[in-house]
Structure formats: structure tokens, C-alpha cells
Structure 1
Amino acid sequence: MTKNATRHLLAAPFCLLSLAQAHAQSTAADQSAAPETWAIHGQFTNVTQGHNRFASPYQGQNSLDAAGRTEETSDITLYAGVRLPGGTELWLNPEIDQGFGLSNTVGMAGFPSGEAYKVGANTPYLRLPRAFLRHTFALGGQQEAVEAAPNQLGGVRAQDNVVLTAGKFSVTDVFDTNSYAHDPRGDFLNWSLIDAGAFDYAADAWGFTYGAALEWNQGSRTARAGVFQLSAEPNGKIIRPKFNQVMLVAELEQRYQWDGHGGKVKLLGFANHASMARYADAVRQAAASVPNVPDVAGVRRTAWRTGMAVNVEQELTADVGLFARASMNDGAKEAYEFTEINRSLSGGVAIKGAAWGRPDDTVGVAAVVNGLSGDARAYFAQGGMGILIGDGGLRYGTEKVMEAYYAARLGKQLSLTLDLQEASNPAYNRSRGPVHLLAARVHAEF
């Protein structure tokens, strides 16, 4: 990336800020009086992340570089929304991306940066990750305020409602959300902490797809269901309409009060229908060939792959919150979109800085343990390659990651985060690691 390109990329969010400042100021006073008819928000995030040299007697095509690496990613997003006749919201999110994840975003099943996509580039490039419609059908109940935010127009709505979202967006915009661990631009970075590790959700290589989701909100409960387009082949860059390549997903949410503090429990289930391989078939085919390295590409056939996740968040005080997730999937078949995790358990705490006079700062500490099925272990032990992992061999151990961050608010629209991670058995390999990772994140928004 040239110095001029970097300068323009860093300057862009502040140019966007100037353009939208007048709208932000004019709507702030009138927000309670009338619903927003349109809005423009924006964000800029840069993550610079590196890791030390670590023990590694061997490495393969999808290994984290044992010599140590430092990479950076940058993205600028514009959130442009308008309220159409009838109350339907239309949102477009053009985005400019640049940079690479460590080792080109391979080497750990729980990859250490949620800001790193599976596609990297030295020069900035433009894409449209979200273009969707949202309509809310009122069912009754009291009116509640809707806060103005990116991809959400300010106003009021009935507490009991049905929300339909359709178009191009991320499955995790609607499903598996968590107040304390879900946003790599503001809280944790590790993939298997910000999402349920075994939730193999439909997505292109950037994490987005086409589909529709329906949410029914009634009192303290919400039921969600959705259908989304899977890639034409695992980890595909382009999503093409293919009606036999779909994900079905449903989620039940129960909200409650415990000792005066809010909490949520969510139960999610999903089923992917696509042409995918069984690990055992790939291993069996390799046994009759030379060299006997298994390859999933040659044994794919139409099948279902299912999984589930439990997601909990609990406020302990106004400044302290806990979260936990547990997830598992059908480990007999290859990972299709997300990453090679067949079971995962994560949990952590987020603490606001009021106790030390920094109420807008946040400290987060969490840990996650990821595991592979027996069939997946056999496949990778014989040199098989996956979406994110493949050392050419495997001395299996669960992948364990600990992460801690401090996010300092430097102003209303700017924050700086220092993030530390330690990964034991990266890519489930006891022969490699541990790996110590350090990241700095700059985030600006309006």
C-alpha cells in the first residue's frame, strides 16, 4: 500500500464526519419529536496485530507463520438509511477495505482478529457488504423508543412486533448477538469469542450473504427464523443463487431480570444443505492413492449439516457483565463457511471503568476452548487442508485462547484499544505454540 493511499484511507472517515455533522446536530434535538426519515453514519477501524516467534518443528500450507508476523487491516463503512413509504427502512453500507489477517487469515480455528477477512489486499478496494430492507409490523403493547444508530433509524415502535429483514447482510447481524462479545470493532477480537465457534453460518469470504430473517417479539421473548444462501462451494468468494445450497436457522430468546439486573438466554439451531464432504470419505479415498493425503474436494455430495448453540449474557451491576456460549455441530462433515470448530465453550467478563474514573472505558477478559471431532482429527492428521487450518500433520490438543483488552474512549467519536491473546495448541496442534498475540485497534465513528 502506498503512503498516499494510506493517507487518503485514514483521512476518509473524518471527511465523512464533516459531511454528516450538520445532520447529526439537527436531528439530535428533534429525535424525540419525530421518527428519523433518513440517516447517515460512518465508521473507521484499523487493527494492527502481530505475534511472536514460537516453537514449531514443522508447518504446512495453512499454518500460522512460526517466524512471527505483523499485519494490519483497515476499513471505512458508510451506513446510509432512508424510511420508505409505509415505514420500511432501506439501508446501504458501502465499505472500503484494505489489509491482511495474520498469515493471510489462516493458522488458528479461532482466528485472532474479527476485523480480518478471508480475502486480503494491499490496496483499498470498494464493496457493498449490506443492502437490505427492514419492516416492522406492530402487534400492540406500549410504545418504546428506538435509538438512532448505524443501520437503525431513530423513532418509536410497539414493544410487541414482528420484524422482517431481507436482502444482503450478515447472519450474525440478527442471530447469536451478545452485548459483551460480538463486535470486533469495540470489544473482543477472536472469532470464537465474538461468535459461537461451531455456528457454521452462511457467508461469503467476507462474512455476508443474501437471505431473509423474521423476528417475533412478544413480551420478554423473541423467536427468530431465517433462510440464507450458502456459497456455491465451501468458503466461496461469490454468492450465487442456488436453491439447494441454503442454511435454515432458528433462535429462541428469553429475557429476564435477576436481582434487578437484566439477562438473556438464547438457544440457536441451524441446518446447512449443500454439496459437502465427509471427512471419513476423504480419508478412505486417500488410502487408495499416492500420495495418501486426503482432499475433501473430490468426495463432496449433497448432504445436511446441523448444529446448535447456547448464548447467555448477564448484567451483574451497571458496570459489570458476564457472557458465555456453548456450541457444537456435525463433526462428520467438513466446515462449510466459518471455520473448523466442532465444539466450543467460551466465557468472559466486561467491566466499565467508572471505578477508576473512566466510565466510558471498558476492560474485557475471556477464554475459549475449541475442539475437533474424531473424523476431523483423522483427516488433518494425514495432512488434509481446511478453510483455516492444516499444518500437514496433527498431534491433537484442544485449541485454547485467552484474550484481554482495554478499550479507552478518547472522545465521543474515537477509541483506542490494546488487545492481548495467548493461544495454546494453535490449529489443535500440540507440536506448535504457544502463540502470544498483541493488537492495537483505532476506531472512529459518527
Structure 2
Amino acid sequence: MKSIAVACALACLPAASLYAADAPAYFVPQLLGAQYTFIEQWQGRVHSPYAGPLSLLAQGDHARSHTFGIYVGVPITQRLALYVDTELFRGEGISHSTGLAGLTNGDVIRGGGGTLGRSAYVARAFFTYDIPLGKEVTWQERKMDQLPGAQANDRWSFKFGLLAVNDDFDQSRYANSARTQFMNWSLLNSPAWDFAADTRGYTVGGMTTLAKGAWTWRYGVYQMPTEANGARLEGPINRANGQYLQVSWQHSPDTLNLWLLVYRNRARMGIYADALRAAETRHVTPNIQADDREGRHKYGAAVGMDWPLADHGGTGLFARAGWNDGRTESFVFTEADRSASAGIQVSGAHWSRSDDRFGFALAVNGLSPEHRAYLAAGGMGFTLGDGALRYRSERIAEAYYAFAIHSFAFVTADMQWIGNPGYNRDRGPVRVIGMRIHLAY
């Protein structure tokens, strides 16, 4: 509890109190933000003629999670900056964060589903370096991992260190944060994008960004974990890595934003068809981990769209779709080989509550034929394993209302409905009711 008290105390301090008033501008830590998020969810009963070790609990479940974070930035030169984020996670997700591709609490990613240690940890520690390519600038406000100041609209930027890949790729202004927006994993990123990360969602690597006019190009290389959903990263990076290339088009901040992401992962992964053949030969249950070999590849793509409609972007639509080859083992984010989602966010300005937000979205996840056959034969992944499978796509609907108590305090009511949980038409559907408290500085 001592670390929690320290986090709360720091969150209440003004940034200037962290360093002397006469300190120079550079090499001076600045508190960019602090947050606390509490999520409580109640899972209803699940129709369950059979179940496996990774199934949703048939009798229903109740779970809570807490995350604390402190975010600091250090300007080193006019172009070079260092950022360090410290977080702490307590709790877990419903049904031990298994039984679904679209798990219901996106914040448990940062706690490894509640399976890792309970002490504070460094989530991000990275450098950024910007090279201006033009004279036009936009003022950047202070926020998490962003020092205040002028940033060139046209620029060539670099970022490297310990970071989260999905901070920079597949970003949607309406569906990217389980702490303030939709909670389901299927609405945080495209589930078919199996991005490089350890169990908490972080990795080591680097990326470069070229922003020129309406176009933004990003390319990054990052370490993969040693095993599916693993806590340790594989090294050296040339032996196991994820490579990502994204191009985005947006004329100005409150206009249509389109992006295309392509990726290729190289890691010690298994192949579903090989695991099935080995199991049939030996007359045993297939085990994808037993087929893990170095040098295996997975590739895929995702597209996305944000369409601001009104209220300076506070009201808008979003959509995503993703695909991967589905031959190799689902390794990092979740077990999905095809995915699509779409939704809307509406600003409370329309009913005189300008800081409130209402959101509604639908998502569909699917599996490749090889992945389906593996699960149907009793195989297990890292989130799925009912012991059998009568396949149908997993279907998700989520609605939330975020009520602003103050500019730094929000209470959210959330409802989720999931049909064919874990892609199994024999089980479900399931309903999940949630409540969230989010405090931010």
C-alpha cells in the first residue's frame, strides 16, 4: 500500500513542485500526468454444456482491477526528450481473463491478466528526437508522454526504448483507451494485429515517423516475447521481432483520418496444421507450444478510419478491419485472425453536458480454418480452450456512458453483450455489466 500512497501523493502535486523554481529548462523532470482507474465488472451466467480449462466460468463471475500511473518527461535538448512512465496494477479480469478473444477489461493487459507481480513497474522509458522539416508549427499541450511546446507540422521523428507499440500504430481517437472509452479488447486495436509486446503490453524497440502535409508514414521494429503471452522478451532483436509499417492520411486534426497498417512478426511460434498432424500421429491432444520453432513468421494487415462529425471532433464515427495469415500461433495480443469493428462516440454537448461521452460499437472476430481445427481437437491457446469447438464468429456489442464529475474525474457505466464466446456456438451468450472510475491529472 505504500507505493499506492506515493502514487496518489505525487498525482496531487503541481509539476513545478517536483523541481526547484530556478532550475534550467533542460534536464528538468516535468510531471506530465498521473492517473488512477478502477474497473468493476459482473459477468452473467453462461450456457455451458461443456467447458475446458480456459472457458468463461459458467456460473458467472465478478472482478475488479486498479491501475495507478505517474508519467514524467525530461527535455534534454530542444529536439531530444526522455519519458519515463511508472505504473502499478492490482486485481484481475472476469473468468481470469480467459474464454474470449474480445476480453471485457482492456486495462488488465497492463497487469498480465492479474498473473504478474503486484509491485510498481516501469511501463515505458524511451527517448524521442524530432527534426523539423518546415516552419509551420502546432502547440502541443502537456499530457502523458508529451512535453508542452511547439512541434513542427512537417517533421522526421525517432522514438526508441521501452514502449508500447500501440501508442503509435492503429490509433483511433474514439476507441483506443480502456480507461476513458470502450473497455473491450476488440475495440482498443484491431484484434487480428498481433503486435509485439510482453505480457503487460510493452516491448523494446524503435520507430521513425515522417510527417509531411496530410501524410504520415511510420515504421517500427520491436522485440517479440520468448513464448506466447510471455513476460520475457526474446533477444537479440534480429532473431525475433515485429516489423510494422503504417501510412495515414488526415488533412487537419478534426477531419477524416484514414490509415493502413501492414506487419510481419518473426518469433519462436508454432504452426497449427503441424501441431494437429503431430497429435494425430501420436493419438494425443494437440499442443501448439510443443511445435514452437525459431524463425516462424506471421503477417497481416489492418485498416482504420476516424470520421469526426461535430463538436470539434467530440462526436464522430470509427471503423477498423484486420486480417492475418492464421497459420502460426496467436502470440501476443489475443486469439483472432480476422476482425472488424465500427462505432460512434457522441459528445454530451447535445444535452448540455459538454464533457460527457456516450459510445456504442459492434465488433466481430474470426479464426482461420487451421486455428478452428486446432481448438476443435481440444487444443489450447493462451486465452481460449473449451476442450471442443462448434465454430461461429465471436460477436460483441458494447455501450458506455462517461459522466464527468469534474475535468479530472469521470464515472462510467458500461454494458457488453458477447455472442459465441471463444468462437463457440455451443456456449453463451454472455452479458457483462461494468462500472469505471477514472481520475487524471
Is the shorter-chain TM-score for this pair beyond 0.5, marking a shared fold? yes
- 1:342 maps to 2:334: no
**1:35–1:154 Cα contact (<8 Å) kept:** no
1:132 aligns with 2:123: no
Distance in 2, Cα, partners of 1:38 & 1:218: 30
Query: 5 Å matches for 1:382-421?
Result: 382-421=377-416
Q: 1:423 to 1:35 in 2, by over 3 A?
A: farther
- Cα distance change of structure 1 residues 119 and 110 upon mapping to structure 2, 3 Å threshold: closer
**Normalized against structure 1, the TM-score is what?**
0.92
2:262 is aligned with 1:265? no
Provide the aligned C-alpha RMSD in A: 2.0
CA contact (8 A) 2:247 2:260 kept: yes
Counterpart of 2:157, as a letter, is V
- Please state if 1:249 is matched with 2:244: yes
Equivalent-residue separation in structure 2 for 1:70 and 1:172 (angstroms): 28
Q: TM-score, normalised by structure 2?
A: 0.93
Q: CA deviation at 1:123?
A: 7.8
Structure whose residues are more often strand by fraction: 1
Gaps of at least 5 residues in structure 2 are: none
- Are the counterparts in 2 of residues 49 and 440 from structure 1 also a CA contact under 8 Å? yes
Structure 2 Cα separation of the partners of residues 129 and 11 of structure 1: 19
Structure 1 residue 20, shift from structure 2 partner: 2.7
Shift of 1:85: 2.8
Aligned to 1:64: 56
Q: Would the alpha carbon gap of residues 215 and 261 (structure 1) be closer, same or farther in structure 2, given more than 3 Å must change?
A: closer
CA distance in 2, matches of 1:240, 1:101: 27
Shift of 1:417: 0.7
Question: Partner residue of 1:31?
Answer: none
Given candidates 196, 199, 205, the residue that maps to 2:190 is 196
CA displacement, residues 178-209 of structure 1 (integer Å, 9 cap, x when unaligned)? 10000111000111111011000000000000
Unaligned runs of 5+ in 1: 28-33
Q: CA deviation at 1:256?
A: 3.4
Count of matched residue pairs: 430
Contact 2:297 2:328 in 1 (8 A): no
The residue identity in structure 1 corresponding to 2:363 is V
Shift of 1:11: 5.2
How much has 1:261 moved relative to structure 2? 5.3
Letter in 2 for 1:409: A
Shift of 1:13: 5.0
Deviations 1:215-237 (A, max 9, x none): 10001110000000000122111
Q: How does 1:15-94 map to 2 (within 5 A)?
A: 15-20=9-14, 38-40=29-31, 41-94=33-86
Aligned to 2:282: 289
Q: Is the 8 A contact 1:37 1:153 kept in 2?
A: no
Q: Does 1:358 align with 2:350?
A: no
Deviation at 1:124, TM superposition (A): 3.6
1:238 to 229, 232, 238: 232
Matched residue SS, 1:93: strand
The more displaced of 111-120 and 171-180 is 111-120
Query: What is the match of residue 421 of structure 2?
Result: 426
Using the TM superposition, name which of 35-44 and 182-191 deviates more.
35-44
User: What's the offset of the Cα at 1:351?
Assistant: 0.4
Instruction: Determine the C-alpha separation between the residues in 1 that align with 2:320 and 2:440.
Output: 29
CA shift at 1:121, angstroms? 5.5
Instruction: Quickly say closer, same or farther: Cα 1:403–1:36, change in 2 above 3 A.
Output: farther
- CA distance in 1: counterparts of 2:124 and 2:96, whole angstroms: 24
Query: Which one of 94, 109, 113 corresponds to residue 102 of structure 1?
Result: 94
Distance 1:86 1:353, change over 3 A: closer
Amino acid at match of 2:13: L
**What secondary structure is seen at the aligned counterpart in 2 of 1:288?**
helix
